Structure 1
Amino acid sequence: MNTQQLVARLTALGGPHRLNILALLNTEGRLHVSEIARRMGMSRALLYMHLTKLEEAGFVSGQLELAPDGKSMKYFEIRPFEIVINADYVSQVVANSAEEPETPTPA
């Protein structure tokens, strides 16, 4: 893991909505987007923004499936993860990142 990846993972956890989504998926298991939105009391557009951040950080995975009526349905489930962070780990990530060539940031 490098510094950018660590920051992305921590940022993905940096809000109560995303933590609540993770808790819901952890306790309820795999759910359809509309069901998550209903239980969270938020629009699907806002939910998708949060799910995208969680998916990019590796906390959830989404699968698109076809319902018997031909409708496209997206389901999300939690991916197993554990976060242990301490000063030694942060120092290790920063040191590893210093050894990697910098990736240009798109304009």
Structure 2
Amino acid sequence: MPPGQVEDPGKKLGQDWKSSPDRAVTAAANRDGLDVLVADSSDAYAWKTAATLSEPGMSADSWIGNQCLMDHEHAAVVYAPRSFTNKPDLMQGGAFTAIVNLTTGHVTKL
């Protein structure tokens, strides 16, 4: 069973779980970047990584960020190295932004 997948989805999610358009989205920080994660009802909410956001050449012990859904397929994501929180000027305006296509994983950096 894939990570996070609901056991016995027919019983727990209802009969129409495979045709439901419901989607859960979150982000998880790690050393390699900020992972944007997606779990669809039709997959019994098994989590998959839609994209990992970071900036080439920028070292970080961890990345942080937030995401906001724009529609069913797109999220606006703000991300930065965790160390930015220790510098007042960067904490208040030093993040990177991107639009992530949650279905294809395509990233448009802004």
- Class of the TM-score when normalised by the shorter of the 2 chains: under 0.3
Higher helix share: 1
Higher strand share: 2
Q: Which has the higher contact order (CA 8 A, sep 6+)?
A: 1
